[in-house]
């Protein structure tokens, strides 16, 4: 018997790249196709859809500086990775290769182009990432999570489709939980997260902000916060002294369920976070990561803020006083929280995996 066609997925080794790849992989497998993942060594820690025997590690390198030495090292690693990936294409013979951003996607996508294999890139940000920007003119088709990302580039618009960000099953389950705004005498549940490694700014700003809240609100507050190990003792000391109900951990493996069970999320605004907040429909205070060359997190947060589903606060304005003021206002206006939740939901696309799978099958010339 002939094996089903193979779709090779390429992604950087972080959750923001791997989770959409996983979601597409689940959908493609439902349709009877095979999938594999080409990535860097970080993904070997990943415990989702792709078991180790489904992962091909391809050498790659991020641009880490503009010196001749740094650029030469990056070029050499990408060339090496492309040669290895080309041999991978010859061995696997995928029907298409789909990249989800990050420099580890460059060698597989370039190798696929050299081998004449159809290629697709997906970009989850409101501003296209540098790796995808490099690949955009070289691939067969482009999928974006958000509309308008490439509107100013006529040469790319014709091969671009807005699909949304594919959501892993846990997010789809969480999205089925309706938002229920807290009554004025009910618990006010707040979740604070900072990305895959946690954000120190949350440990620096959130505890002194909580300290400024009125006693009545402190009594209602149930706080869940992602905290780095090195910050744990000082953060816990503040909440213990205030007698705040707080659960602290460096990492939450059940984050989708926690997003659904809280009334307000305080977070960075990576593409995955913004997409998940939209899919689940939860109000948020977003603090974009400063200093990024393309300001992608600022633009991502703007999508939810412009829709009315989030409050965007630049890190320079993210002070204990400002956060305490926003928390107090939101806790006293349940109707506003409900409106923000509904507005956030308008940004989400729960059918993104199906839409992207349709696009990939079309590019690969496979029947549905």
Please give the C-alpha separations between residue 33 and each of 2, 29, 53, 54, 361, in angstroms, as whole numbers: 12, 5, 17, 13, 10
Residue 303: which pLDDT band, with cuts at 50, 70 and 90? very high
Can you tell me the distance from the alpha carbon of 151 to that of 124, in angstroms, rounded to the nearest whole number?
A: 15
- Tens-place pLDDT, residues 203-212: 999 999 999 9
For 263, 284, 329, the CA distances from 214, given in Å and listed in that order, are 18, 21, 11
For the chain, percent of residues with pLDDT exceeding 90: 77
For the chain, give the mean pLDDT.
92
Sequence-separated (6 or more) residues with CB below 8 Å from residue 140 = 96, 118, 119, 120, 159, 363
The pLDDT, as a whole number, for residue 27 is 96
Q: Which residues contact 147 (CB under 8 A, 6 or more apart)?
A: 162
Q: Count helices and strands (H / E) in the chain.
A: 15, 13
Residues 192-240: tens digit of each pLDDT: 998 655 688 999 999 999 999 999 999 999 999 999 999 999 999 999 9
Q: Bigger pLDDT: 169 or 241?
A: 241
Q: Kindly calculate the radius of gyration of the chain based on its CA atoms and give it in whole angstroms.
A: 22
**Residue 17 — pLDDT band, cuts 50, 70, 90?**
confident
Asked if pLDDT for residue 344 goes beyond 80, the answer is yes
Phi-psi region of 365 (alpha: psi -120 to 50; beta: other; left: phi over 0): left
pLDDT band of residue 368 (cuts 50, 70, 90) is low
| DSSP three-state, residue 120 | strand
pLDDT at position 64: 62
Q: Sorting pLDDT into bands at 50, 70 and 90, what band is 292? A: confident
**Given a cut of 80, is residue 45 above it in pLDDT?**
no
Q: For 128-135, what is the mean pLDDT?
A: 92
In percent, how much of the chain has pLDDT > 70? 94
pLDDT tens for each residue of 58-68: 877 666 666 77
Beta-strand pair 141-144/55-57: unpaired
Domains annotated for the chain, with CATH where assigned, are: 6-167+350-363 (3.40.50.2000), 172-345 (3.40.50.2000)
Q: Which two tokens stand for residue 89?
A: 């294409």
366 pLDDT exceeds 70?
A: yes
Q: Distance from first CA to last CA of the chain, Å, rounded? A: 20
In the block, residue with structure tokens 């018997």: 1
Given this model, what pLDDT does residue 72 score? 74
Q: Are 140 and 45 in contact (CB under 8 A)?
A: no
pLDDT at 195: 67
- pLDDT at residue 168 is higher than 80: yes
pLDDT at 215: 96
d(CA 331, CA 262): 12
Pick the residue with more confidence: 142 or 71?
A: 142
pTM: 0.89
């Amino acid at each position: 018997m002939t094996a089903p066609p193979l779709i090779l997925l390429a992604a950087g080794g972080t959750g923001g790249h791997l989770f959409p790849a996983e979601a597409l992989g689940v959908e493609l497998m439902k349709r009877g196709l095979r999938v594999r993942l080409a990535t860097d060594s970080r993904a070997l820690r990943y415990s989702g859809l792709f078991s180790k025997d489904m992962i091909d590690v391809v050498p790659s390198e991020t641009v880490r500086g503009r010196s001749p030495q740094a650029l030469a090292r990056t070029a050499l690693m990408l060339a090496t990775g492309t040669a290895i990936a080309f041999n991978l294409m010859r061995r696997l013979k995928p029907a298409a290769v789909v990249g989800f951003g990050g420099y580890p996607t460059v060698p597989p996508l370039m190798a696929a182009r050299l081998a004449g294999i159809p290629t697709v890139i997906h970009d989850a940000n409101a501003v296209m990432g540098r790796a995808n920007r490099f690949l955009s003119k070289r691939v067969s088709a482009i999928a974006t999570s958000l509309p308008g990302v490439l509107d100013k580039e006529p040469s790319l618009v014709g091969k671009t489709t807005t699909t949304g960000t594919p959501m892993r099953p846990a997010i789809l389950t969480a999205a089925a939980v309706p938002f229920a705004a807290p009554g004025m005498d009910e618990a006010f549940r707040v979740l604070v997260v900072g990305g895959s490694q946690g954000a120190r700014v949350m440990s620096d700003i959130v505890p002194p902000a909580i300290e400024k809240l009125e006693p009545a609100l402190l009594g209602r507050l149930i706080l869940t916060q992602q905290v780095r190990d090195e910050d744990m003792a000082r953060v816990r000391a503040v909440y213990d002294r205030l007698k705040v109900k707080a659960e602290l951990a460096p990492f939450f493996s059940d984050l989708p369920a926690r997003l659904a069970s809280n009334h307000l999320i305080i977070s960075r605004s990576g593409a995955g976070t913004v997409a998940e907040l939209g899919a689940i429909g939860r109000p948020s205070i977003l603090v974009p990561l400063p200093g990024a060359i393309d300001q992608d997190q600022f633009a991502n947060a703007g999508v939810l803020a412009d829709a009315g589903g989030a409050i965007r606060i630049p890190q320079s304005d993210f002070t204990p006083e400002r956060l305490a003021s926003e928390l107090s206002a939101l806790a006293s206006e349940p109707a506003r929280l409900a409106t923000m939740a509904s507005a956030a939901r308008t940004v989400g696309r729960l059918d993104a995996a199906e839409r992207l799978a349709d696009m990939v099958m079309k590019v690969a010339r496979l029947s549905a």
